[in-house]
């Protein structure tokens, strides 16, 4: 509750969106080592405030997750900068974003690839996503990588996702090999947990 109140107070004091974007780039991205030109350009071009509830628009650039009306959350700017930097999307690639359908990451990544699709975790798990992709990005944190995520990858396709291990969220990157994938931890980050990808609860006696 305190964080939400702080966001609202910040929103009331920071109506200059262009200035907020510049500040985000200089104080959040660059100071964290994110200097890829394509990342900075995309995050400078896309008005993040258009992807949050009306009452939170001016708080869109605060370094915190923002609750959405759907019950999901929009990851902080730094997390999306980290995702773009580590994903290294290519102009000829077919990409899939799996997440709570905030549309913000899709707006950032769309011009960087040949084709981009979005799917919610439930759509992926129910088999409603057709085709395979060179790059699959999970816009959130998972406890478990389900077979459906691996199946969505083309041979040698890349998966970038937040992974929760012992309560710590890290971005992890892997490449498909056969029906398996080995993920390599990259950096700690702050991403919303995606309950659909929680580990199945085992029985205890």
In this prediction, residue 204 carries a pLDDT of 45
DSSP for the chain, please give it.
Answer: -HHHHHHHHHHHH---HHHHHHHIIIIIIGGGT---HHHHHHHHHS-GGGGS-GGGGGGTTSSS-EE-TTS-EEPPHHHHHHHHHHH---TT-EEEEESS--SHHHHHHGGGSSEEEEE-HHHHHTT---S-EEEEEEEEEESS--HHHHHTEEEEEEEEEEEEETTEEEEEEEEEETTEEEEEEEEE----B-GGGSPPPPP--
In this prediction, residue 58 carries a pLDDT of 78
Q: Tell me which of 200 and 180 has the higher pLDDT.
A: 180
Domain-wise residue ranges, the chain: 2-76, 81-197
pLDDT of 175 above 60: yes
The pTM for the full model equals 0.88
8-33 confidence digits (pLDDT tens): 555 555 469 999 999 999 999 999 99
Q: Which CATH architecture has domain 81-197?
A: 3-Layer(aba) Sandwich (3.40)
In this prediction, residue 2 carries a pLDDT of 65
- What mean pLDDT, rounded, does the chain reach? 91
Average pLDDT over residues 191-195: 94
In this prediction, residue 203 carries a pLDDT of 43
In this prediction, residue 205 carries a pLDDT of 40
In this prediction, residue 6 carries a pLDDT of 60
């Amino acid at each position: 509750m305190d964080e939400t109140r702080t966001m609202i107070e910040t929103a009331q004091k920071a109506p200059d969106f262009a200035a907020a974007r510049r500040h985000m780039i200089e104080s959040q991205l660059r100071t964290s080592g994110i200097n890829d030109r394509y990342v900075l350009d995309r995050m400078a071009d896309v008005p993040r405030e258009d992807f949050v509830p009306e009452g939170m628009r001016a708080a869109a650039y605060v370094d915190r997750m923002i609750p959405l009306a759907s019950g999901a959350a929009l990851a902080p700017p730094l997390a999306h900068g980290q995702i773009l930097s580590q994903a290294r999307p290519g102009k000829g690639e077919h990409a899939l974003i799996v997440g709570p359908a905030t549309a913000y990451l899709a707006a950032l990544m769309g011009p960087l690839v040949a084709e981009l699709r979005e799917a919610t975790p439930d759509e992926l798990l129910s088999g409603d996503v057709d085709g395979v992709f060179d790059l699959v990005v999970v816009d959130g944190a998972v406890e478990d990588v389900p077979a459906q995520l691996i199946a969505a990858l083309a041979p040698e396709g890349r998966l970038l996702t937040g992974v929760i291990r012992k309560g710590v969220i890290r971005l992890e990157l892997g490449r498909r090999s056969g029906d398996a994938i080995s993920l390599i931890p990259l950096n700690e980050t702050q991403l919303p947990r995606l309950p659909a990808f929680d580990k199945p609860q085992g029985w205890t006696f």
